[in-house]
C-alpha cells in the first residue's frame, strides 16, 4: 500500500473502516467463492498462481479504494464496458470492492451535490482517478465543460493528492477519435496534459473491464501500478501481439485466408489478414481474455482486428479493410512478427508509432499493386488447391 500511505492518516479516520471480509461475511459470500475470484484475477494479471493468496490477503485487509471517474470527450463506451464486469459483477464492485464516489453515469447526485461528493473525495486524498475521453485543448478548452469548468481544470483538480490516474479507453490514453486528423478540438490524451502522478493507460475501444479490475486488484495488492510498456500500457494485458495469441494463427502460418465476406475461408475461421486484420500490429489480450464474460472477440466473430489499442490507430490503421503492408523480407511465417517488432523498435528508440504507420500507409498502394508477388497471397492460393 506504499502508494497510498501519504494520505492514509486523513483517510482512515473518516472512513467507516469496514473491510471486504466483513462485508462479504455480511452478505453470506463464502471464502471459497472469494478465493475463486482471486484465482481468476491472478490469471488476468498473468501472474503465477501463488500470487492468488497474496491478492486475496490484500483485498481482504484493505479499505475500499476511492474511485473518481471523470468523463471528458467520451462516448461512455468504457462506462458501458465497466457495467459488463463479471467475476466480480459491477454490483459487487461498487458495493463491496471499490468506492465509486464520482461517476456521472451511475451516481444518484446531480449538479452541485455531485461536485460536492467529488470534492470531498479529493480532499481525503489517496484516490484513484479514472479518466474516460480526451481532453480538448483548443479554444481555451470550450469544447468540453462540466459545471462551467473545462475538462483540463477538472483533471488538474482531481489529480491533487491522487494515488494514480488510470486512463480507460484510447481517447483518454492517446487522444483517440477526437484527436483523429484533423483533430478539430485539439484533443489530447491525459498523459500529454498532466504529470506528477503515476499514470497508466488501458487503451482499447473500449477498454476491456477485466483489465481494469486486474489493474485495481494489482494496485491494492502490491501498492503500485503494474509494469508498463513504452506506451504506458500494463504488460499483463498489452505485452503480447494479438497475432501471436490468435486462435487463427495456425491458419495464417498455413496460408489459409478468408478472401471475401462469407466465403468458405471466412465461414471456416481462416485468417482475416487479407480482409484487413490489424492483429499483427496490435498489442492487446483480446484473444486470451476475450469479451463479455469470455464469450467471444472480434476476430472470433469474423471481423478483423482494427488495432484499437494502438496510439493514433484512427489515422494509422485506416482504411480498416486495406491489408497491412508488406515490409521487406515478407514471408508467411515471419511477416507479422516483423511488423510488430518494427513498431516496438521504433517506439523504443523514440519514433512515434504514428510516423511508422504513416510510412506504412503511404506504401499501401504499392502493396496492393504488387499483390501478385505477395508470398502470403501465394500461400493462400496454395491452400485452396
Partner 1 sequence: MPRIAVDPVTRIEGHLRVEAEVDGGVVTDAWSSCTMWRGIETILKGRDPRDAWYFTQRICGVCTTVHALASVRAVENALGIVPPLNAQLLRNLIALSQYVQDHVVHFYHLHALDWVDITSALEADPEATAALASSISDYPRSSPSHFEAVKQRLTSFVEAGRLGPFAQGYWGHPAYALPPEANLMAVSHYLDALDFQRDYMRIHAILGGKNPHLQTYLVGGMAVPIDPNSQNAINATTLLQLRKLLESGLRFVTQAYIPDVLAVAPFYTDWAAIGAGLGNYMSFGDFPTGAQNPSMDRDALYLPSGVIVGNDLSQVHRLDATKITEYVAHSWYSYEGGDGSPLAPFDGETTPDYTGPEPPYEFLDTDGKYSWLKSPRYDDMPMEVGPLARMLVAYGSGHERVQQLVNSVLETLGVGPEALFSTLGRTAARAIESQVLAERSLEVLDQLTANISGGDITIHNGDLWDPESWPQTASGFGMHEAPRGSLSHWVTIADGAIDHYQIVVPSTWNAGPRDGNGARGAYESALLNTPIADPERPLEILRTVHSFDPCMACAAHILDKDGKPIVEVTVT
* Cβ-based neighbours of 203, under 8 Å, separated by 6 or more: 167, 169, 170, 173, 174, 231, 233, 238, 308, 309, 310, 311
Pair 281, 343: CB distance under 8 Å: yes
Pair 3, 129: CB distance under 8 Å: no
**358-377 residues near partner 1, rule: CB under 8 A:** none
- Angstrom distance (rounded) from CA 291 to CA 81: 9
Pair 290, 305: CB distance under 8 Å: no
> Which part of the chain contacts partner 1 (CB under 8 A), choosing from 16-24, 191-199, 324-332, 369-377?
16-24
- Least Å distance between CB 372 and partner 1? 17
33 binds partner 1 (CB under 8 A): no
Pick one of 5, 8, 57, 267: the residue that binds partner 1 (CB under 8 A).
Answer: 267
- Residue count of the chain, please give it: 385
Pick one of 3, 46, 180, 193: the residue that binds partner 1 (CB under 8 A).
Answer: 180
**Which residues is 67 bridged to in the sheet?**
100, 128
> Residue 54: which region, alpha, beta or left (left: phi > 0; alpha: psi -120 to 50)?
alpha
349 binds partner 1 (CB under 8 A): no
282 binds partner 1 (CB under 8 A): no
> Over the range 267-280, which residues count as b (16 or more CB within 10 Å of their CB) and which as e?
eeebbbbbbbbbbb
- Least Å distance between CB 121 and partner 1? 9
79 binds partner 1 (CB under 8 A): yes
Pair 317, 278: CB distance under 8 Å: yes
Pick one of 187, 200, 339, 353: the residue that binds partner 1 (CB under 8 A).
Answer: 187
CB nearer to partner 1: give 34 or 342: 34
- Least Å distance between CB 340 and partner 1? 21
- Angstrom distance (rounded) from CA 163 to CA 3: 6
CA distances from 112 to 11, 115, 121, 178 (A): 23, 5, 14, 28
Could you tell me the sign of the dihedral formed by the alpha carbons of 142, 160, 3, 83, in that order?
Answer: negative
Pick one of 297, 311, 336, 379: the residue that binds partner 1 (CB under 8 A).
Answer: 297
- Least Å distance between CB 154 and partner 1? 9
160 binds partner 1 (CB under 8 A): no
58 binds partner 1 (CB under 8 A): no
> Over the range 332-343, which residues count as b (16 or more CB within 10 Å of their CB) and which as e?
beebbebbbebb
CB nearer to partner 1: give 79 or 228: 79
- Angstrom distance (rounded) from CA 11 to CA 124: 6
Pick one of 5, 31, 57, 268: the residue that binds partner 1 (CB under 8 A).
Answer: 268
114 binds partner 1 (CB under 8 A): yes
Pick one of 30, 230, 292, 331: the residue that binds partner 1 (CB under 8 A).
Answer: 292
- Least Å distance between CB 69 and partner 1? 9
Instruction: Give the SS3 label for residue 99.
Output: strand
CB nearer to partner 1: give 48 or 111: 111
Pick one of 30, 113, 334, 370: the residue that binds partner 1 (CB under 8 A).
Answer: 113
71 binds partner 1 (CB under 8 A): yes
> Which part of the chain contacts partner 1 (CB under 8 A), choosing from 54-62, 96-104, 224-232, 233-241?
96-104
> Which part of the chain contacts partner 1 (CB under 8 A), choosing from 41-49, 83-91, 326-334, 371-379?
83-91
- Least Å distance between CB 262 and partner 1? 5
| Stretch 119-158: interaction string toward partner 1, x if CB under 8 A | xx------------------xxxxxxxxxxxx--x-----
Amino acid at each position: 500500500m506504499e502508494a497510498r500511505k501519504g494520505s492514509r492518516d486523513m483517510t482512515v479516520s473518516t472512513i467507516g473502516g469496514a473491510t471486504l471480509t466483513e462485508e462479504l461475511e455480511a452478505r453470506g459470500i463464502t471464502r471459497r467463492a472469494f478465493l475463486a475470484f482471486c484465482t481468476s484475477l491472478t490469471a488476468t494479471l498473468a501472474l503465477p498462481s501463488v500470487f492468488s493468496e497474496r491478492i486475496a490477503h490484500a483485498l481482504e485487509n484493505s479499505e475500499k479504494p476511492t474511485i473518481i471517474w471523470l468523463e471528458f470527450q467520451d462516448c461512455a463506451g468504457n462506462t458501458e464496458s465497466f457495467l459488463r464486469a463479471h467475476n466480480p459483477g459491477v454490483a459487487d464492485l461498487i458495493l463491496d470492492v471499490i468506492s465509486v464516489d464520482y461517476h456521472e453515469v451511475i451516481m444518484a447526485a446531480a449538479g452541485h451535490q455531485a461536485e460536492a461528493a467529488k470534492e470531498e473525495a479529493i480532499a481525503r486524498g489517496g484516490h484513484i482517478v479514472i479518466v474516460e475521453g480526451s481532453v480538448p485543448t483548443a479554444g481555451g478548452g470550450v469544447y468540453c465543460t462540466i459545471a462551467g469548468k473545462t475538462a483540463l481544470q477538472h483533471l488538474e483538480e482531481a489529480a491533487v493528492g491522487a494515488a494514480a490516474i488510470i486512463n480507460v479507453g484510447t481517447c483518454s490514453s492517446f487522444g483517440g477519435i477526437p484527436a483523429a486528423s484533423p483533430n478539430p478540438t485539439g484533443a489530447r490524451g491525459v498523459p500529454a496534459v498532466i504529470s506528477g502522478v503515476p499514470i497508466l493507460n488501458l487503451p482499447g475501444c473500449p477498454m476491456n473491464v477485466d483489465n481494469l479490475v486486474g489493474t485495481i486488484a494489482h494496485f491494492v495488492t502490491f501498492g503500485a501500478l503494474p509494469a508498463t510498456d513504452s506506451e504506458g500500457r500494463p504488460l499483463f494485458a498489452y505485452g503480447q501481439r494479438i497475432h501471436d495469441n490468435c486462435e487463427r494463427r495456425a491458419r495464417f502460418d498455413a496460408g489459409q485466408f478468408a478472401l471475401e465476406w462469407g466465403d468458405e475461408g471466412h465461414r471456416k475461421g481462416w485468417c482475416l489478414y487479407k480482409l484487413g486484420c490489424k492483429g499483427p500490429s496490435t498489442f492487446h489480450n483480446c484473444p486470451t481474455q476475450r469479451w463479455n464474460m469470455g464469450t467471444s472477440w472480434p476476430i472470433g466473430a469474423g471481423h478483423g482486428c482494427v488495432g484499437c489499442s494502438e496510439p493514433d490507430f484512427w489515422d494509422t490503421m485506416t482504411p480498416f479493410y486495406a491489408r497491412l503492408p508488406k515490409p521487406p523480407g515478407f514471408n508467411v511465417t515471419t511477416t507479422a512478427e516483423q511488423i510488430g517488432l518494427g513498431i516496438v523498435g521504433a517506439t523504443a528508440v523514440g519514433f512515434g508509432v504514428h510516423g511508422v504507420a504513416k510510412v506504412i500507409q503511404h506504401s499501401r498502394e504499392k502493396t496492393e499493386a504488387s499483390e501478385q508477388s505477395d508470398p502470403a497471397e501465394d500461400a493462400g492460393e496454395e491452400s485452396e488447391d
